[in-house]
Amino acid sequence: MTSPLERFISQVNNLGLAKTNSFNVEIFTPPCIQDVTGTRKMPSLLTLFCQNASFPATNIGVRDLKITGPTYKRPYSIDYGGEGIQLTFLVDRQMNIKSYFDLWMNKIINPFEFTAYYDEKETKYTTDIFIRQVTQTTPPPVGYENLEGVVDEDETYFVKLEDAFPRNIGLIELDTTAQNSVHKLTVNFAYRKVRFQGDIYQEGSWLLTESPQ
């Protein structure tokens, strides 16, 4: 009879463990800035330069209910993280990533008249964001471990943030004493709804990709 430790090691070897650094983020350019020169190439740059992300939380709202006997909790609502989600990007030398989000936010609130635009048609400022967990399927050749494009990756899980838009751009500090530092930009996104992988492909059901032995 195998011990719990042996069964644990066997399952880890069989199923593997999801790594925190195996992910990618895809942000589609919203209609309000699609006609601006250079914005159509930004989704691929944002995917490459996104350094930190997270999968959103899911919270069930409950309230106390008492009919007979002791009080108990009953669910009545659901939300997906409240204040939104935070993504952190490395910033390129030309500051294209910073300029992109500056432009986007100026198309949400007019910075001169302080009026909000309508989220429809050509002024639509919301978009979809995909956050994916990936796994390496093909090991890179010896000597090419750190190069992009030489490793095949499979998507194992994803979430889709619907009607997302940037609600906050973090400050970027400048420091004459920091000789080997690079800019990082933190952007907080609000969104209307989260669609999980199971919702889209399995109509709400969740299926194991591999059955534990």
Does position 206 have pLDDT exceeding 70, yes or no?
Answer: no
Structural domains in the chain, CATH included, are 21-201 (2.30.110)
Q: What is the pLDDT of residues 2-17, one digit of tens each?
A: 899 999 999 999 888 8
What pLDDT, on a 0 to 100 scale, did the predictor assign at position 112?
Answer: 86
Pair of tokens at residue 156? 């194992």
Cβ neighbour number for residue 85 with a 10 Å cutoff: 23
Q: What is the pLDDT of residues 61-105, one digit of tens each?
A: 899 998 888 998 999 888 877 678 999 999 999 999 999 999 999
Identify the DSSP state of 173: -
Distance CA 209, CA 3 (A): 25
Whether 167 and 135 have beta carbons less than 8 Å apart is answered as: no
Residue entry with tokens 């463990």: 17
Pair of tokens at residue 189? 């996104």
Q: What is the pLDDT of residues 191-202, one digit of tens each?
A: 988 888 766 555
Whether 59 and 78 have beta carbons less than 8 Å apart is answered as: yes
What pLDDT, on a 0 to 100 scale, did the predictor assign at position 116?
Answer: 84
SS3 content of the chain, % helix, strand, coil (to 5): 20, 30, 45
Tell me the backbone φ, ψ of residue 195, rounded to 5 degrees: -110, 125
Q: What is the pTM of this model?
A: 0.80
